[in-house]
Structure 1
């Protein structure tokens, strides 16, 4: 496959230009395009992860455990927090700038002036990289929905639908059943599905798809479950009752009871992979200790210019279900005197519902706007606040200004929570902790 060489900066700028192209190829066209790239996805083994919330945590847990078991595992996720290379991992390592540029140049050469979307480009790049690196398994996270998602060209060993709640209604539908039908589009004939869908319309849709396609369905709470002696914390052990067995006293590096759901989904998936990838108890325990998912209930202690540090909790919760999980975690896992909330939201989200959930917990609210054409203005957010919080809320024109206001007001016993948008969390994390991916990483 001949391609004009690109350096990393050229590849990144070309990819960035694709954000303005919104028309999707469709799966048939995506298949034909991958054919011109040599069908990198053919012959590879996959796990396909869809759902409204928890996809990244579930996928990261799968990666951590399978890596500890000795396998070479690729992970493709989205969106990224600050650097596009975060989307592509093999084990603990991110794609290098040289590898990114080389595979991007190959795609650019095959396109020969044709247009595809940003997500289609990154999906193709992930498949090329994983194939070239001969991974034992690739974990592919759906971007949005499932049925028409660019990742849905693969046939996995196991499919996962973490849960279904309302999000992206403009694209996925205005009822739970409609959203569930889009996510159930990843279900393949005869391929087992692991799911944490609740006992509502979403479960009925998933069950119907599985029956029609002859896909065995394994449900959290019915076929596998977890238990804990008290409200879960990151330090407390928990028990897993699985499809074929179970484990007691399991560790976890992730906070929040909802993360036990995600970890259980990962363990159930590993059970179903037993014929292809064997994983022992030692790898499970060691892997769970090492699970990390930046920007999701991630606690930082950044330094103050005058000395000492302050506590900042980053969480990418951006829809009502995600914010409800954040609220629950704040009550279970954290102790603080005052809660200082730094908040932003994309304008196409259910802004009123999320603010209604989180605003009553906050003693100080700072509204801001990350650099995104889709983000709501602080003034638009203020109008949606409960009346009691509306007049006292502060606004900041930039994320840096919002963090400075929070730091100035935060006392040692206070907790600053940055949430409402992954764009906000990514910008805040970059300012507070730097890049996840080193620029010279190879």
Structure 2
């Protein structure tokens, strides 16, 4: 369920299913009924297991510093449905959402779509009405059959590929890679991060079939670590920019930054914009994203590591930022995730775990998570708000992780006390 989305559905009597139905037939029909707004947009499309949101955030910041009006569509929400659709960093308002729902009602879309498909249509309508220059679109799940895959992008980006959503995407890296590679379009370049060899082979095969150029991290472009910050280098055009300093922590964010800079060359060429090194330096420093090693209270961090690959990146960041410090984890995870594997990752850096229940029908019970944990110091927390406040006051470094839905709930509750 998408928080606050049902209130608009009820108000405008527009029905949609709270289920996942991969496929493009329904949304293509729906979009034709509202004038095909997706064809009026210039788009960058992102798919991948991890890194989509961070890469999108870097690219948004770079585009804005170059004077472009940016719309972005991200999943899942941070607080509620409004923050998934943003223009110039501002969430869609209630009045704006009412306007697009009125359009969708008038077009007879009730009962024809899933929730995410309906939200995708709403996004395209809002971006056209807002006259955005560039729309940054994050795929919801997979890519090939995801409702966002109705666009013809300037460039596609695939930051990473790992096992996820195996009940829909298949249980092999190759199968999942085929879904992610489905966002690549004929004669439009794709930019990829560090992918497993079997995934990379699939991406290159699919790109070759449709004459799409592939720009690969650490081949056509890379990042160097320097004493005065990081340096980005693009081998194909000889571009180099030094003294890049990121607010977004973690070595993996250097890769996401590099993907975004590389993608912006394609955007800049489309708009005939001169790429500014000073604008990129400023943009990289200003780029931040909620739920990515976010310090919500002193010593209390939120990080949305919700699969083994993102958990591994979080562990790398913890080791780099807080070497030798005692870390406590507050954990809530969806039951359809690789819970045991995620916990094993976290247990590399901590033996103190506190498990919580949170408001999501797919959440694994805190007691069940506790039983799966190998930690010697573990408990179920009834009131995590008071616990986190005490941890902050006692300067006890604590990471809240496991599910973005948990992070949304924690952020909301902490800000209300």
Q: Indicate the TM-score class for this superposition, using the shorter chain for normalisation.
A: over 0.9
Which of these residues, 337, 347, 350, is aligned with residue 362 of structure 1? 350
Does residue 50 of structure 2 align to residue 53 of structure 1?
yes
Q: Are the equivalent residues in 2 in contact too, given 1:192–1:215 (CA < 8 A)?
A: yes
Query: How far is 1:64 from its partner?
Result: 0.7
In structure 2, what is the equivalent of residue 241 of structure 1?
Answer: 233
Which of these residues, 72, 75, 78, is aligned with residue 75 of structure 1? 72
Q: Deviations over 1:117-176 (max 9, x none)?
A: 111111111100111111111010000100000000000010111110111111111011
Does residue 284 of structure 2 align to residue 288 of structure 1?
yes
Q: Deviations over 1:291-325 (max 9, x none)?
A: 11101111122xxxxxxxx4211000000000000
In structure 2, what is the equivalent of residue 394 of structure 1?
Answer: 379
The count of aligned residue pairs is: 410
Q: Distance in 1 between matches of 2:368 and 2:6?
A: 36
Q: Deviations over 1:210-253 (max 9, x none)?
A: 111110000001110101147xxxxx721101142111111212
In structure 2, what is the equivalent of residue 306 of structure 1?
Answer: none
Summarize the Cα distance change of 1:37–1:200 in structure 2 as closer, same or farther, 3 Å threshold: same
In structure 2, what is the equivalent of residue 104 of structure 1?
Answer: 101
Summarize the Cα distance change of 1:135–1:415 in structure 2 as closer, same or farther, 3 Å threshold: same
Summarize the Cα distance change of 1:434–1:70 in structure 2 as closer, same or farther, 3 Å threshold: farther
Query: How far is 1:20 from its partner?
Result: 4.9
Q: Distance in 2 between matches of 1:207 and 1:376?
A: 38
Query: How far is 1:266 from its partner?
Result: 0.2
Does residue 330 of structure 2 align to residue 342 of structure 1?
yes
Superposition RMSD in Å: 2.3
In structure 2, what is the equivalent of residue 385 of structure 1?
Answer: 373
Which of these residues, 36, 40, 54, is aligned with residue 43 of structure 1? 40
Summarize the Cα distance change of 1:252–1:10 in structure 2 as closer, same or farther, 3 Å threshold: same
Q: Are the equivalent residues in 2 in contact too, given 1:295–1:315 (CA < 8 A)?
A: yes
- The 5-angstrom pairing of residues 112-127 of structure 1 reads 113-127=110-124
- The 5-angstrom pairing of residues 26-425 of structure 1 reads 26-111=23-108, 113-229=110-226, 237-242=229-234, 243-244=236-237, 245-277=239-271, 278=273, 279-301=275-297, 310-334=298-322, 337-386=325-374, 388-389=375-376, 392-397=377-382, 401-409=383-391, 412-425=394-407
Query: How far is 1:109 from its partner?
Result: 3.0
Describe the SS at the equivalent of 2:76: coil
Does residue 408 of structure 2 align to residue 431 of structure 1?
no
Query: How far is 1:60 from its partner?
Result: 0.9
Summarize the Cα distance change of 1:131–1:167 in structure 2 as closer, same or farther, 3 Å threshold: same
Query: When the two structures are superposed, what TM-score results if normalisation uses the length of structure 2?
Result: 0.93
Q: Distance in 2 between matches of 1:19 and 1:74?
A: 24
Structure 2 residue ranges without an equivalent (≥5): none
Structure 1 residue ranges without an equivalent (≥5): 1-6, 231-235, 302-309, 436-442
Query: How far is 1:8 from its partner?
Result: 9.1
Q: Are the equivalent residues in 1 in contact too, given 2:14–2:109 (CA < 8 A)?
A: no
Q: Are the equivalent residues in 2 in contact too, given 1:8–1:98 (CA < 8 A)?
A: no
Summarize the Cα distance change of 1:393–1:195 in structure 2 as closer, same or farther, 3 Å threshold: same
Q: Are the equivalent residues in 2 in contact too, given 1:145–1:183 (CA < 8 A)?
A: yes
In structure 2, what is the equivalent of residue 439 of structure 1?
Answer: none
